[in-house]
Structure 1
């Protein structure tokens, strides 16, 4: 039987904020939120340790259908794989769901973080949606490491990475963003944070929601990208869909890095505050694979612990990022 670990994780408490986060922003609420981690069974682990999948091939930006079929055939022959995938999909698509952490730490310990392990994780991802890379200059899995001299608020920086959706300014953003933990911060920082933007929007007054629905928001550059549509500029944060549906096109970074009108900036700031109030947080362990439905949750990261300069580059926190595109009509909202 699949071990489905569910427990209540309190919203992040007093964590030091760094560049990119207002010091007077409200603290997360103390209410407790449900967090789901999926442990695979020991017999599935044993079978996957012995399984060697072939190298993947891409069809343009996407994992090739022939690769998906080969992976699926091999994985479905292992015990409890189908049951595990059903549990994973349910966590991502059920009402109130939208994210899941597949715990593959034992596999990572045995196989390491190289090609064999990454192919197994890719096979799990392909059961959720189609893996693809929007960045032609990077491989399918993109490294998200730690760069001391990088902008602290960026994903590879050392500071607070505020709530956002990936490729917010594309007309066709990825339906899912996913992160595979290879190494956690050895100093203990870098909690992953998630928040439900639809719930946050519902707590806003009507006049703020009206401003968020106007095409008055900008963020980021748009060049050398594949399979994510065209540049969306300006864009509305709310797209007029029924509550709980559609993207909430938000990144808190727009508050400092884009020229927004005063009223629209105030509405976006209030949404940012509500996202912090409703956030959940947890620490990804090596081998944990986090999948986030971008139509249901925004994500970010607390600051890494101070002292990163003293940590050798090869020992610093390392995640791998993979984007997924849901086939049309699969019920994910894509």
Structure 2
């Protein structure tokens, strides 16, 4: 459950229009001609939505785009891709599933139980995506619960110098499963903190202990310093 301040509703008429565009792929990326057509719609009928999404991302680094519940799962896949296209070119770094979206719960770890580790997407690559998106089509298999959204950059500012020194060491790891695409090369082990301007440090948190990757110690998480959530309905 996200606080209501994160929620940005997508008008049914706009969602239906976005759902008219096919998820034609160019490799692992949504084909540019389709993305261009979708952005024309967003600049016209969806301009207000784009501004609200941008405002929430700038303020909180996270937004929940609430899609209308009356759309079928197939149409929701398309409409959600259209919403994500407001932030960049949608792509899927992990093989499997349908076009931009992974199917089921087995590939994402969402059936692991009532609690899951806090982490970010793909911390162990040289070019992680700017945003991560999760499309929720129904209640969680564990019955739902609370979603923790952490502003990791703000948290990093509060760290003591000795803690920052520890997190700068390239000794952290994550058990990567399968081949990933469009995110640069592997980075194992990696530092949690990569220093930048104040408040802009890149953070690679995977929820694992400060040691190189050990099989079975990490689970997939859709929590991210900057993430999109696209639930059906409210």
Report TM bin, short chain: 0.7 to 0.9
Q: For each residue in 1:140-167, what CA deviation from the matched residue of structure 2 results, as whole angstroms up to 9, or x when unmatched?
A: 111352x6xx9xx944311421110111
- Residues of 1 paired with 2:170 and 2:82: CA distance? 38
The answer for the alignment partner of 1:38 in structure 2 is 8
Q: 1:117 aligns with which of 76, 81, 95?
A: 76
Q: 2:35 aligns with which of 56, 68, 71?
A: 68
Q: For each residue in 1:242-270, what CA deviation from the matched residue of structure 2 results, as whole angstroms up to 9, or x when unmatched?
A: 232142111113469946xxxxxxxxxxx
The answer for the alignment partner of 2:153 in structure 1 is 198
Q: Counterpart of 1:193 in 2: which secondary structure?
A: coil
Structure 1 segment 61-210 matched on structure 2, within 5 A: 61-78=28-45, 81-94=46-59, 97-104=60-67, 107-108=68-69, 110-114=70-74, 116-139=75-98, 140-143=100-103, 145=105, 154-185=109-140, 188-210=143-165
Distance 1:209 1:67, change over 3 A: same
Unaligned runs of 5+ in 1: 1-7, 10-33, 260-290, 300-318, 321-334
Q: For each residue in 1:310-333, what CA deviation from the matched residue of structure 2 results, as whole angstroms up to 9, or x when unmatched?
A: xxxxxxxxx89xxxxxxxxxxxxx
Asked whether the equivalents of residues 120 and 204 of structure 2 are also in contact (C-alpha less than 8 Å), the reply is yes
- Residues of 1 paired with 2:197 and 2:28: CA distance? 31
How many residue pairs are counted as aligned between the two chains? 221
Distance 1:179 1:50, change over 3 A: closer
Tell me which moved more, 250-259 or 83-92: 250-259
What is the TM-score when the length of structure 1 is the normalising length?
Answer: 0.58
- Residues of 1 paired with 2:22 and 2:122: CA distance? 28
- Residues of 2 paired with 1:211 and 1:228: CA distance? 26
The answer for the alignment partner of 2:25 in structure 1 is 58
The alignment's C-alpha RMSD in Å is: 3.2
- Residues of 1 paired with 2:109 and 2:14: CA distance? 38
User: Which structure has greater strand proportion?
Assistant: 1
Q: Counterpart of 1:183 in 2: which secondary structure?
A: coil
Asked whether the equivalents of residues 195 and 298 of structure 1 are also in contact (C-alpha less than 8 Å), the reply is no
Larger radius of gyration between Structure 1 and Structure 2? 1
- Residues of 2 paired with 1:233 and 1:133: CA distance? 21
Unaligned runs of 5+ in 2: 215-221
Asked whether the equivalents of residues 218 and 234 of structure 1 are also in contact (C-alpha less than 8 Å), the reply is yes
Q: 1:242 aligns with which of 192, 197, 218?
A: 197
Distance 1:133 1:93, change over 3 A: same
What is the TM-score when the length of structure 2 is the normalising length?
Answer: 0.80
